[in-house]
């Protein structure tokens, strides 16, 4: 299993876009079609769909605009892959729902149809029938009888029996969770994700353990790009995701557009795209490493991209990577703070509160940028990260470094959206905490992301003989915990004031208060009653907050306060809390560096998983009164080639799709896989 992980925070919970207005600096063209419509595109269930803008695109040179266009097309072509990875019947279900939705000639205000429309919107948003964050299967609110009638009338063909399809949708106990990481169960059999077929957890672990060469200084991320299954003779085999293998039809389209992109790219990007194409052609993970080494060394290209099988959060065992894609370009005006952080990377490493044996003696290749995203795809769409740090392989990080980005046009939307929604007034007791968050919340969030991605994930090193896969299913949570602790610890350091990154340590106080509140309390609004915490980032935040509360309880560093029948979590001693962050970072780094599985398992199971039902009930009730959807995602802009006598002379940017239109458009024009793969 490879080391993790790029995504820091998916969606900021405290959003209300009713007060959000368009940024004047982003409206830069006179073409009426290119003007963004209001920020809110759609609202349903627990989700708000937003629009993001792409400021500065119109000022790019033509070849960079064309590069963004071609890379964006490649990004859209991988959508079906993620649907299928999430669950083997997702494409069958999505297509049946879409056929009913587009062909239905009855009353579209009827209760069953309205309920099916909401269900379809949720399936689009989650890239499947399981919630994108909780991993629980959606509950259909339309009747089974009505749906069976609709299948008979509108669905032309199904690769499985109608009865089986309905059982999958309507039986709550069947394929109940996309990702089940409950300690003590066979996580492979209990997870509905499509990374394994007909194998047990024990068989998977033994299969990949036999491949590991502990003497290899450049260990391969075995299993990253394949489904593990059994052949007709019962032998365990990999179905590799490459041209000619599993997902070949979609990968062929991705490669087609990557070749178009290569034709307009400049070096070193031509060679980087060549390496990626070769990886897609062969499925050879050594080629993937070669691509990553080239990619991480490119700090000159203005346009950049991520495309491939990258993150392993969706696999309960952490071997398999979901497909994702993004296209972006540098926001040069906003890069000042990340440049300062990058230049001082060695100081941060040398002063990290961890065992000196686990510090990097020489920090190499750390680069961080603020970017403007131009296209989101796969596991980054519609819900998207706000920060990315890649590549994931520890040996590449050690020898070549890593690249980190903060996505400024996404954080801009979230920051504006969080104003005036009553969230802080409801859950944060003290006025001084609310005032600090109002003044310093945005800079604190941005710096937390920068430090987490740029330095946190890239910090530390493994002990000799440790491969990085020892932590197994707990690896994702512990890696996110490590990066978050690194960021939290340094946010309270006077060095940030000295470097001019923050005006005072009040920035840290604002971040500490909101982080503890979210980790212990408010993020529970995303969990269904009776459920445990499953998602790695939520587990990470809960682990940190609960551990610090427990270990600082005697000194009342963090304290529960009850007022007017409501509970509040309050930080009394910010310096004491920072010390606790350092102590926990010391232990988490030790666990990773030594590959101490049992200590990592205990830390996660003790602090990150179980939910207090009474507190959970209170949070849900208070949160519901605010009328705020806890999740947000985005529709993409679209790009149009402008030609004159067969020659491309410009690329136009449009904000011309609503949510349903974009999803149906993608399903019609960017769907290349069969319903069952």
Give me the DSSP letters along 516-567.
HHHHHTGGGGGS-TTPPP-SHHHHHHHHHHHHHHHHTTTTTSEEEEEETTEE
| pLDDT value of position 601 | 96
| pLDDT value of position 417 | 58
Is 676 a domain residue? no
Is 158 a domain residue? no
pLDDT single digits (tens) 656-674: 889 999 999 999 999 999 9
CA distance linking residue 570 with residue 557, whole number of Å: 9
Is 168 a domain residue? no
CA distance linking residue 475 with residue 489, whole number of Å: 21
| pLDDT value of position 420 | 60
Residue 557 has pLDDT above 50, yes or no: yes
The 10 Å Cβ neighbour count of residue 485 is 30
Of 312, 318, 311, 276, which is closest to residue 293 (Cα–Cα)? Answer: 276
| Least trusted range by pLDDT, from 5-9, 568-572, 662-666 | 5-9
Is 61 a domain residue? yes
Burial 151-180 (b: 16+ CB within 10 A, else e): beebbeebeeeeeebbebbeeeeebebbbb
CA distance linking residue 413 with residue 20, whole number of Å: 8
Are the CB atoms for 287 and 242 separated by under 8 Å? Answer: no
pLDDT single digits (tens) 103-146: 999 999 999 999 999 999 999 999 999 999 889 999 999 999 99
Helices (H), 35-89: 62-76, 79-86
How many Å separate Cα 413 from the centre of its chain? 17
- Average pLDDT for residues 500-518, to the nearest whole number? 97
- Residue 54 belongs to domain spanning: 17-80+246-634
- Average pLDDT for residues 415-430, to the nearest whole number? 79
Is 620 a domain residue? yes
Joined together, the tokens standing for residue 603 give 């830390």
| pLDDT value of position 6 | 36
DSSP state of 377: E
Of 151, 167, 59, 58, which is closest to residue 96 (Cα–Cα)? Answer: 151
Residue 570 has pLDDT above 80, yes or no: yes
Of 89, 308, 307, 285, which is closest to residue 194 (Cα–Cα)? Answer: 89
The 10 Å Cβ neighbour count of residue 107 is 10
Is 645 a domain residue? no
pLDDT single digits (tens) 427-474: 999 999 999 999 998 889 889 988 998 899 989 999 999 988 899 889
Are the CB atoms for 125 and 49 separated by under 8 Å? Answer: yes
Is 162 a domain residue? no
Q: What is the number of structural domains in the chain?
A: 1
| pLDDT value of position 368 | 78
The 10 Å Cβ neighbour count of residue 238 is 17
Calculate the dihedral angle through the C-alpha atoms of 510, 512, 513, 517, rounding to the nearest 10 degrees: 140
Is 136 a domain residue? no
Beta bridge partners of 326: 306, 376
Residue 289 has pLDDT above 90, yes or no: yes
pLDDT single digits (tens) 29-57: 333 344 444 678 899 999 999 999 999 99
CA distance linking residue 509 with residue 517, whole number of Å: 12
pLDDT single digits (tens) 589-636: 999 999 999 999 999 999 999 999 999 999 999 999 988 888 899 999
Residues whose CB falls within 8 Å of the CB of residue 38, separated by 6 or more in sequence, listed in order: 22, 51
CA distance linking residue 457 with residue 453, whole number of Å: 6
């Amino acid at each position: 299993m490879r080391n993790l992980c790029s995504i820091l925070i998916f969606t900021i919970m405290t959003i209300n876009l009713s007060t959000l207005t368009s940024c004047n600096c982003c409206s830069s063209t006179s073409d009426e079609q290119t003007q963004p419509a209001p920020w809110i595109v759609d609202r349903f269930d627990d989700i708000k769909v937003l629009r993001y803008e792409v400021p500065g695109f119109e000022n790019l040179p033509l070849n960079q605009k064309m590069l963004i266009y071609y890379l964006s097309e490649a990004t859209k072509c991988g959508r079906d892959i993620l649907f299928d990875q999430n669950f083997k019947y997702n494409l069958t279900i999505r297509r049946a729902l879409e056929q009913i939705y587009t062909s239905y000639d009855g009353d579209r205000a009827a209760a069953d149809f309205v309920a099916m429309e909401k269900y379809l919107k949720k399936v689009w948003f989650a890239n499947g029938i399981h919630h994108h964050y909780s991993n629980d299967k959606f509950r259909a609110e339309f009747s089974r009888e009505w749906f069976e009638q609709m299948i008979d009338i509108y669905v032309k063909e199904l690769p499985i029996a109608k009865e089986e399809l309905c059982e999958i949708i309507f039986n709550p106990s069947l394929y109940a969770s996309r990702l089940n990481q409950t300690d003590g169960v066979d996580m492979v059999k209990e997870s509905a994700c499509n990374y394994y077929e007909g194998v047990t957890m024990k068989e998977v672990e033994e299969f990949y353990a036999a491949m590991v060469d502990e003497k290899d200084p450049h260990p391969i991320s075995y299993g990253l790009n394949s489904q593990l299954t059994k052949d007709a003779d019962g032998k365990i085999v990999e179905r590799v995701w490459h041209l000619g293998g599993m997902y070949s039809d979609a990968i062929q389209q991705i490669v087609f557009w990557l070749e178009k992109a290569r034709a307009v790219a400049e070096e070193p990007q031509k060679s980087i795209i060549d390496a990626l194409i070769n990886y897609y052609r062969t499925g050879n993970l050594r080629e993937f490493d070669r691509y990553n080494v080239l990619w991480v060394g490119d700090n000159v290209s203005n346009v950049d991209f991520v495309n491939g099988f990258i993150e392993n959060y969706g696999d309960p065992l952490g071997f398999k990577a979901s497909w994702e894609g993004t296209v972006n370009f540098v926001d040069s005006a906003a890069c000042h703070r990340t440049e300062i952080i990058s230049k001082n990377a060695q100081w941060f490493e040398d002063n990290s509160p961890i065992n000196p044996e686990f510090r990097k003696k020489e920090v190499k290749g750390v680069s961080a940028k603020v970017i403007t995203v131009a296209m989101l795809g796969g596991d980054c769409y519609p819900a998207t990260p706000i920060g990315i740090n890649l590549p994931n392989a520890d040996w590449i990080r050690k020898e070549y470094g890593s690249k980190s980005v903060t996505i400024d046009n996404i954080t801009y939307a979230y920051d504006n959206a969080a104003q005036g929604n009553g969230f802080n007034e409801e859950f944060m007791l003290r006025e001084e905490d609310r005032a600090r968050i109002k003044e310093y919340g945005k800079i604190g969030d941005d710096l937390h992301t920068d430090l987490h991605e740029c330095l946190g994930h890239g910090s530390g090193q493994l002990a000799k003989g440790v491969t990085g896969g020892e932590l197994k299913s707990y690896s994702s949570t512990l890696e996110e915990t490590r990066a978050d602790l690194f960021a939290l610890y340094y946010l309270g350091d006077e060095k940030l004031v000295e470097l001019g990154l923050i005006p005072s340590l009040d920035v840290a106080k604002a971040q500490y208060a909101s982080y503890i509140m979210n980790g212990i309390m408010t993020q529970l609004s995303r969990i269904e009653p009776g459920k445990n915490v499953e998602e790695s980032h939520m587990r990470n935040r809960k682990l940190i907050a609960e551990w610090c509360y427990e270990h600082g309880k005697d000194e009342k560093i963090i304290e529960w306060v009850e007022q007017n029948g409501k509970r509040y979590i309050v930080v009394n001693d910010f310096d004491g809390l920072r010390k606790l962050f350092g102590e926990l970072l010391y232990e988490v780094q030790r666990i990773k560096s030594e590959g101490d599985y049992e200590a990592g398992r205990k830390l996660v199971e003790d602090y990150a998983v179980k939910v207090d039902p009474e507190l959970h009930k209170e949070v849900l009730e208070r949160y519901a009164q605010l009328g705020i959807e806890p999740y947000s995602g985005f529709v993409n802009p679209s790009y149009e080639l402008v030609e004159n006598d067969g020659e491309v002379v410009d690329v136009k940017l449009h904000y011309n799709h609503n949510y349903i239109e974009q999803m149906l458009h993608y399903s019609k024009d960017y769907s290349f896989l069969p319903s069952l793969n």
